[in-house]
Structure 1
Amino acid sequence: MGSEAQISVLVVDDDAFVRRGMTDIFAATTDIVVVGSRSDGDEVPAAVEATRPHVVLMDLMMGRVGGLDATRTLMTMPDPPKVVAMTAMDVDDLVVEAVKAGAHSFLSKSEPPETYHQSVRAVAAGNTLFSEDSLRRIVRHSPSQRPTVALDSLTDREREVLAVMASGATNADIARRLFMSETTVKSHLASVNHKLRVSNRVGAALTAFRCGLVE
């Protein structure tokens, strides 16, 4: 695979062993390359400007500036990279806040290398890799957070698309299951995000679970 097709990744974590481990994880692939690593959130904007990564793997707990604030800063930049939040805990309140701030996916640091490969590929392609079980745990651990816009603002077709997407399906999967084009799927999802006032697929999926669209 040529360098033009490679997905570039910036790793941000205050643990040197994690940074080295992530580099080794992606060295086993031919389509993902680590273009840099940083040890704290205040180093992220300059690193993104310098390396222009497609995806940032962002630790949420760091010494000077945490991943949540760093993600918020990145989302104010023109054409920001996709962000995958990393957490040492299965369910972390910071994960919910990171998603609201613009993170496109989240992973536990205990996930196997193959899951990291799949997640980076998914977010780089505009999709998201998450499990329904993870979303259910987040909803159970954040009962006070409720969607600000009811699902009745959606059309029936948008509800169908949202329900399938909340299962972790890609745009291609949704298109096959609902017998529509991927372009139409993207259009429906853009409308869903706008109506639900969320920034990405994970936020929309969380709303679907909180509202009972997906049990």
Structure 2
Amino acid sequence: MIGVALVDDQSLFRAGIRMLVDSQPDMRIIGEAGDGRAGITLVDQERPDIVLMDIRMPVMDGIEATREILTRPDPPRIIMLTTFDLDEAAARAIRGGASGFLLKDADPEFLLAAIRGVHTGSSVIAAAETRELFAHYADRKPVPEVFARLTEREREIFGLAARGLNNAEIAAREFLSEATVKTHISRILTKLALRDRVQLVVFAHDHGLTG
């Protein structure tokens, strides 16, 4: 069962998300909070797997709350909620360790799929939107020396993953098994000290490695 915490200052929005999530057999809302500070307390008390975190809230916004939550041992994965397609605050949150972002008016099935995908660590949320977000808010830095630790094959896989291809798509393109692709991705993340594929996309855009 996937435990989901919902942090948003709009009670009507929270009620709708609770109804949607609780209707699923494999997930449930384990708590709600109306601001970032209360969200931190909720996470500490309930230890959710996933946090749906609004960006703009009173008392403490979602960016600061996310930053603090991610300092905890074994923190939950955090999905930022935003009303804007290209939101600089969302970009900052993802660079800080959030697992991605969703528009508040996203299709319900997409939201549920995003929760499941982030829980397994196998999906980038809205890959096209994530790429566009970081292309828009580019913050180019020199390529770190650690990138040279990747093998030629790992660099090829890195490039495809950075463009938003999933394991099945990479496997078909490179004539590999999905298991082999998964192993490559795992090694790439380890070598680059990245948490997940969303962070891989961020890394690629921040260092101009998406070409």
Select the residue among 8, 11, 32 that pairs with 1:13. 8
Matches within 5 A, 1:99-118: 99-118=94-113
Match of 1:146 in 2: 140
CA shift, 1:157, in A, is 2.0
Show CA shifts across 1:18-46 (max 9, x none).
Answer: 11111112123111111111000001222
Match of 1:40 in 2: 35
Instruction: Percent identity, please.
Output: 32
Show CA shifts across 1:85-128 (max 9, x none).
Answer: 11111110011110111101111111111111111101110123
State the distance in 1 between where 2:87 and 2:81 align: 10
TM-score, normalised by the number of residues in structure 1: 0.84
CA shift, 1:177, in A, is 5.2
Alignment check: 8 A CA contact 1:92 1:138 kept: yes
CA shift, 1:139, in A, is 2.9
RMSD: 2.3
Show CA shifts across 1:132-183 (max 9, x none).
Answer: 431342134214x113425863432222221232243445665565422633
Give unpaired runs (5+ residues) of structure 2.
none
Provide closer, same or farther for how the CA distance between residues 148 and 28 of structure 1 changes in structure 2, counting only shifts above 3 A.
farther
Match of 1:23 in 2: 18
State the distance in 1 between where 2:181 and 2:198 align: 21
Alignment check: 8 A CA contact 2:10 2:34 kept: yes
State the distance in 1 between where 2:142 and 2:11 align: 40
State the distance in 2 between where 1:104 and 1:209 align: 15
Matched to 1:147, the amino acid is K
CA shift, 1:204, in A, is 1.8
Provide closer, same or farther for how the CA distance between residues 207 and 184 of structure 1 changes in structure 2, counting only shifts above 3 A.
closer
TM-score, normalised by the number of residues in structure 2: 0.85
Give unpaired runs (5+ residues) of structure 1.
1-5
Alignment check: 8 A CA contact 2:21 2:112 kept: yes
State the distance in 2 between where 1:26 and 1:73 align: 25
Alignment check: 8 A CA contact 2:131 2:163 kept: no
Matched to 1:185, the amino acid is I
Provide closer, same or farther for how the CA distance between residues 129 and 36 of structure 1 changes in structure 2, counting only shifts above 3 A.
same
Match of 1:182 in 2: 182
State the distance in 1 between where 2:77 and 2:169 align: 21
Match of 1:163 in 2: 159
State the distance in 1 between where 2:58 and 2:200 align: 31
Select the residue among 190, 203, 208 that pairs with 1:207. 203
State the distance in 2 between where 1:90 and 1:8 align: 27
State the distance in 1 between where 2:119 and 2:127 align: 20
Alignment check: 8 A CA contact 1:175 1:182 kept: no
State the distance in 2 between where 1:122 and 1:9 align: 13
Match of 1:83 in 2: 78
Alignment check: 8 A CA contact 1:135 1:209 kept: no
1:126 aligns with 2:129: no
State the distance in 2 between where 1:7 and 1:176 align: 30
